[in-house]
Amino acid sequence: MFQIVRKKVLNPSVTLMEFNAPYIAAKVKAGQFIIFRVDEQGERVPLTVADSNPEKGTITLIFQVVGRSTMKLNALNEGDSILDLVGPLGIPTEIPENAKKICVVGGGVGCAIAYPQAKSLHKAGLQVDVIAGFRSKDIVILEDEFKQCCDELILCTDDGSYGQKGFVTNALQERIDNGIQYDAVIAIGPVPMMKFVCKVTEKYNIPTIVSLNPIMVDGTGMCGGCRVTVDGKIRYACVEGPDFDGHKVDFDELMHRNGTFREREADCRMMALADKA
Amino acid sequence: MPNMSKTKVAIPEQEPAVRARNFEEVSLGYTEEMAVEEATRCLNCPKKPCVSGCPVGVRIPEFIKKITERDFEGAYEIIHSTSSLPAVCGRVCPQESQCEGQCVRGKAKGAEPVGIGRLERFAADWHMQHSDAPVQKPESNGHKVAIVGGGPAGLTCAGDLAKLGYEVTIFEAFHVAGGVLMYGIPEFRLPKAIVQKEVENLKAMGVNIMTNMVVGKVFSVDELMEQGFEAVFVGSGAGLPRFMGIEGESLIGVCSANEYLTRINLMKGYKEGYDTPVLKSKAVAVCGGGNVAMDAARSALRMGAEHVYIVYRRSEDEMPARKEEVHHAKQEGVEFLTLQNPVKILGDENGRVRAAVCQKMELGEPDASGRRRPIPIEGSEYELEVDTVIMSIGTSPNPLIRTTTKGLEANKHGCLVVDENMMTTKEGVYAGGDAVTGAATVILAMGAGKSAAKSIDEYIQNKSK
Residues of chain A positioned with their CB less than 8 A from the CB of B241: 222-224
Q: With 90 as the cut, is the pLDDT of residue B186 above it?
A: yes
Q: How many alpha carbons fall within 13 Å on the CB side of residue A127?
A: 10
Helix (H) or strand (E) holding A11, with range, is: strand A2-11
Per-residue exposure over A36-69, b if at least 16 CB sit within 10 Å of its own CB, e if not: bbbeebbbbbbbbbbbbeeeebbbbbbbbbebbb
Q: Pairing relation of β-strands B240-241 and B395-396?
A: antiparallel
Q: With 80 as the cut, is the pLDDT of residue B293 above it?
A: yes
pLDDT band of residue A270 (cuts 50, 70, 90) is confident
Higher pLDDT pick, A39 / A95 = A39
Q: With 80 as the cut, is the pLDDT of residue B62 above it?
A: yes
Residues of chain B positioned with their CB less than 8 A from the CB of A255: none
At B1 the pLDDT is 66
Q: Which residues contact A144 (CB under 8 A, 6 or more apart)?
A: none
Q: How far apart are CA B193 and CA A132, in angstroms?
A: 49
pLDDT band of residue B317 (cuts 50, 70, 90) is very high
pLDDT band of residue A273 (cuts 50, 70, 90) is confident
Is there a contact between B239 and A222 if contact means CB atoms under 8 Å apart? yes
Averaged pLDDT, B242-264: 96
Q: How far apart are CA B373 and CA B368, in angstroms?
A: 9
Q: Which of A23, A43, A224 sits opposite B218 (nearest CB)?
A: A23
pLDDT band of residue B135 (cuts 50, 70, 90) is confident
Q: How far apart are CA B22 and CA B271, in angstroms?
A: 10
pLDDT band of residue A277 (cuts 50, 70, 90) is low
What value does the mean pLDDT of chain B take?
Answer: 95
pLDDT band of residue B83 (cuts 50, 70, 90) is confident
Residues of chain A positioned with their CB less than 8 A from the CB of B279: 260
- What is the distance in angstroms between the Cα of B283 and the nearest Cα belonging to chain A? 17
Evaluate the CA torsion angle B360, B366, B368, B369 in order and state its sign.
positive
Work out the angle at residue A247's Cα, subtended by the Cα atoms of residues A244 and A248, and round it to the nearest 5 degrees. Answer: 65
Structural contact between residues B372 and B363, judged by C-beta atoms closer than 8 angstroms: yes
Residue of B169, B175, B392 for testing the chain A interface, max A β-carbons within 10 Å: B175
Is there a contact between B217 and A253 if contact means CB atoms under 8 Å apart? no
Structural contact between residues B250 and A253, judged by C-beta atoms closer than 8 angstroms: yes
Tell me the percentage of chain B whose pLDDT exceeds 90.
Answer: 91
pLDDT band of residue A276 (cuts 50, 70, 90) is low
pTM as predicted: 0.94
Residues of chain A positioned with their CB less than 8 A from the CB of B218: 23-24, 27, 87-88
At B368 the pLDDT is 83
Residue of B176, B244, B259, B404 for testing the chain A interface, max A β-carbons within 10 Å: B259
Whether B240 has its CB under 8 Å from any CB of chain A: the answer is: yes
For the stretch A134-193, pLDDT in tens is 999 988 999 999 999 999 999 999 999 999 999 999 999 999 999 999 999 999 999 999
Whether B84 has its CB under 8 Å from any CB of chain A: the answer is: no
Is there a contact between A221 and B267 if contact means CB atoms under 8 Å apart? no
What value does the mean pLDDT of chain A take?
Answer: 94
Is there a contact between A43 and B213 if contact means CB atoms under 8 Å apart? no
CA separation, residue B116 to residues A63, B35, B96, B128, B316 (Å): 54, 10, 10, 18, 26
Is there a contact between B274 and A41 if contact means CB atoms under 8 Å apart? yes
At B371 the pLDDT is 82
At A175 the pLDDT is 95
Averaged pLDDT, B221-247: 96
Is there a contact between A223 and B275 if contact means CB atoms under 8 Å apart? no
Q: Which of these, A192, A201, A207, lies nearest to A256 by C-alpha position? A: A192
**Predicted complex ipTM:** 0.94
Is there a contact between A41 and B255 if contact means CB atoms under 8 Å apart? no
Q: Which of A44, A83, A222 sits opposite B398 (nearest CB)?
A: A222
The β-bridge partners of B215 are B219
